[in-house]
Structure 1
Amino acid sequence: MAFDHIIGQEIQRQRLMDALMQGRLAHAYLLYGPSGTGAEALAIELAKAVNCAQGPGEPCQKCPSCRKIQMLQHPDLHVFLPSSSTKAAKGENKNSEVKGRPDARLERRIALIESLAQDPYAPFIFNKNDYLSVDDIRGLRQDAFVKPFEGRRKVVIIAAADRMNVAASNALLKTLEEPPGELMLILTTHRMHGLLPTITSRCQPVHLGRLPESVVQEALITRYQTDPDTASAMARQSDGRLNQALQAMSEEGTAIRKEAFSLLECIHGDHPLQIFEMIDHLTAMHRKTPVVEPLLDALLSHYRDLFILTTASKETMVIHIDRLEAMKDIIRKITMEQIEVGIQDIEEIKQSIIKNVHPQLALTVLALRLRGRRAQAA
């Protein structure tokens, strides 16, 4: 199977390999789909394939070119990721180094690239101020017309391309309209609505769907040495996204699940004012590190557990088995219909967060909806 380092996505992998072997690769690709389905991993493997010393073809993973690209250190590979701008300290020139350290925006970008090189499936969450600037894209344009140093083609990967500002998008459009012959552009996004139609129409789209639960489970066992029971539980709550399963297994993921269940208990508890205290607490957390999206994912998985307990009573299917007794208390207070509508409410609020609705407002609306439905039923 083509690109055997990629998890799942067999049809998409074969389609790209066929295009490569038949000399029909497009000058620009747009890899899109839910996060954790392999867009960045596939972009890196495609960069290897066009420049592998044994190819072009299936990357050998052993030649200097493949190894350099895996580490994102090949001179003909350029990776752009969003990062936050910095404000100079009072009295300092904004272009100066602060206490001998490089600009914090560059520092963050380097950290993100190192994380991507180590594992392109690993979860990483962008801050709301992370973006791709027009200067980033202008640098791309200047370099695009320089011939490759070592490989057959220059490859530019723009990850989270939806985070380009308008000026950056317009600058990229010029490169897409007049691409150099030896350049391949690969854009990835998990939010198609954030890209200009003029950009998407000039790229060859490749949609990456959610991974089957069995594929996520197998990847956790074989690639991440996870024990089978844990892998099974994490795969069930992954929603077809490997990064979500990895996030759930991390210390941060454990903490977020705890916060999500605390919110659930507040919503269905006997002291409704605690809901607002909890939302203030979660909003303060979100200001430091983006937690609302993973928190909603965790809340959704708890609601699915409630649904399982209400409809099937199959405790072996419950993901959060450590919360079993507490969830049994909650299902005594709500109906199956309320759980079903609650799942829809959470999905709707998740979409509003993606569209940049203020997190505190979104959580407040969600909590009041869920609490209100319970009150109406009572």
Structure 2
Amino acid sequence: MECSSWEEIYGQSRAVRFLAGVLSKGEVPHALMFTGPRGVGKHSTALLFAAALLCPAGLPDACPSCRKVARGVHPDLHLVEAEGNQILIAQIRELEWDVNIKPKESPRKVIIIDEAERINQDAANAFLKTLEEPPPETYMILVVESREALLPTVVSRCHEVRFSALGKTDIEEFLVEREGIERVEAERIARLSGGIFGRALLWARNPELAAHWTRGVELAASMRRFSLLSLLEKAAEERESLEDTAVPAGENDLDLYVKAMDKRSGEQLRKRWEKRKKREVLKLRRQAALDLFDGMSSFYRDIMLLNLSEEEAGRASRGVPLLNLEWMEELEREALHIGTEESKRRLEALQRARKALEANVDLGLLLDSLVLELKGVMG
């Protein structure tokens, strides 16, 4: 992301019109709440809007200030993200201290709280004071899937901006027209992404990250035929692969920004940068694990639909298409052995595994127990 123009945001014209409008009129609410499904561009839009608020020209134009926002190194942008699976009160206390210091480069300050549903109750209560009485020229953006995930007292103090889900065709067209992906590959990515635009874009730009989904499908397809020992060995390989997942390389011009600042400010910026990079790695690894589980779930979902289907091969009942069309031979073979009830049991086990992952259960133990449960060793 370059924070160069509003055109960087795809498929959210209503939200963009509202944000550009309040900017041009000088009527920006001090607290905004971006709501909508995961992966539709809420976080990217928050960065773009922050760039506009901090930009001397008042719009995202890829100027030096906007590029700093895009890199996450603007000293007047404060990005709060979960540490582990929660946003803690210590982070809010640190934020309160930061926002009460005079801005360093812009006349404004911007706070983005990503995945705001992860803020625990103590932290949310502590944040209320800042939300009610923010320092002058301080703007806050809370990014969350649903307003119901936040305390009513928080919601009531924010102006909601809604983001809508994108259809498979929309995602496919974006990948073809904007990313230059071949039509066949764009259709495959859009189909497997499950309508999650951010996931499709990440896979298109970093194909190695899409491999976790594929390995999930492979693991599910081999569950019946492989021995327990072989499956546990494959689970160990998956754990190592997930732990090796790294953030894709990008521009790293932190040193240039640090050198342009006084020593204390430079050290603070470097500390924030390093903490953010650590969180990005943990977040990406968590997403890779979720992709693995979702790949497995998609295989059992397709088996369930095949078993329920009364239509032609490759189409499921009620017109819902199968996800893993490239795996039809394996799906049809396994559907002969795995019925609807067993597919449902395995999908429920994978849903529990997802929740356990969100609760920071050790990945190795989680994968081993999942294999045991899917293999039927655990009742």
For normalisation by structure 2, the TM-score amounts to 0.68
Matches within 5 A, 1:342-361: 345=348, 348-349=351-352, 352-353=355-356, 356=359, 358=361
Aligned to 1:303: 300
CA distance 1:347–1:9, shift in 2 (3 Å): farther
Matches within 5 A, 1:322-341: 322-335=326-339, 337-338=340-341, 341=344
C-alpha distance after superposition, 1:275-328 (max 9, x if no partner): 66666765676677434421222123323444565533138x655454332222
CA distance 1:11–1:185, shift in 2 (3 Å): same
d(CA) in 1 for partners of 2:77 and 2:213? 38
1:49 paired to 2:52: yes
1:263 paired to 2:266: no
Matches within 5 A, 1:228-243: 228-243=183-198
Matches within 5 A, 1:54-65: 54-55=57-58, 59-65=59-65
The range that moved more, 183-192 or 286-295, is: 286-295
Aligned to 1:68: 68
Partner SS, residue 206 of structure 1: strand
Aligned to 1:245: 200
Preserved CA contact (<8 Å) 1:48 1:66: yes
Matches within 5 A, 1:182-331: 182-190=137-145, 195-248=150-203, 250=206, 252-269=208-225, 289-290=285-286, 291-306=288-303, 311=309, 312-314=312-314, 319-331=323-335
d(CA) in 1 for partners of 2:214 and 2:193? 17
Aligned to 2:279: none
Q: Which amino acid aligns with 1:329?
A: R
CA distance 1:254–1:65, shift in 2 (3 Å): closer
Counterpart among 165, 179, 184 of residue 134 in structure 2? 179
Q: Which amino acid aligns with 2:72?
A: L
> How many residues were matched structurally?
322
Q: Which amino acid aligns with 1:323?
A: W
Q: Which amino acid aligns with 2:76?
A: D
Preserved CA contact (<8 Å) 1:81 1:160: yes
Q: Percent identity?
A: 28
* Shift, 1:28, TM fit: 1.3
Q: Which runs of 5+ in 2 are unaligned?
A: 245-284, 316-320
C-alpha distance after superposition, 1:145-165 (max 9, x if no partner): 344444353111122334445
1:31 paired to 2:34: yes
C-alpha distance after superposition, 1:209-233 (max 9, x if no partner): 3221122112222343322211111
Q: Which amino acid aligns with 1:16?
A: L
* Shift, 1:361, TM fit: 6.1
C-alpha distance after superposition, 1:18-72 (max 9, x if no partner): 33344442211222333321111110121133344444xxx35144433333333
CA distance 1:17–1:322, shift in 2 (3 Å): same
Q: Which amino acid aligns with 1:300?
A: S
Whose helix fraction is larger, Structure 1's or Structure 2's?
Answer: 2
Preserved CA contact (<8 Å) 2:298 2:323: yes
| Superposition RMSD in Å | 3.9
* Shift, 1:207, TM fit: 3.4
d(CA) in 1 for partners of 2:376 and 2:175? 36
d(CA) in 2 for partners of 1:232 and 1:308? 20
CA distance 1:333–1:325, shift in 2 (3 Å): same
Q: Which amino acid aligns with 2:221?
A: E
Preserved CA contact (<8 Å) 1:132 1:163: yes
The range that moved more, 24-33 or 353-362, is: 353-362
Partner SS, residue 4 of structure 1: helix
Q: Which amino acid aligns with 2:37?
A: P
Matches within 5 A, 1:119-158: 129=84, 132-158=87-113
C-alpha distance after superposition, 1:92-118 (max 9, x if no partner): xxxxxxxxxxxxxxxxxxxxxxxxxxx
Q: Which amino acid aligns with 2:133?
A: E
Q: Which runs of 5+ in 1 are unaligned?
A: 84-128, 373-378
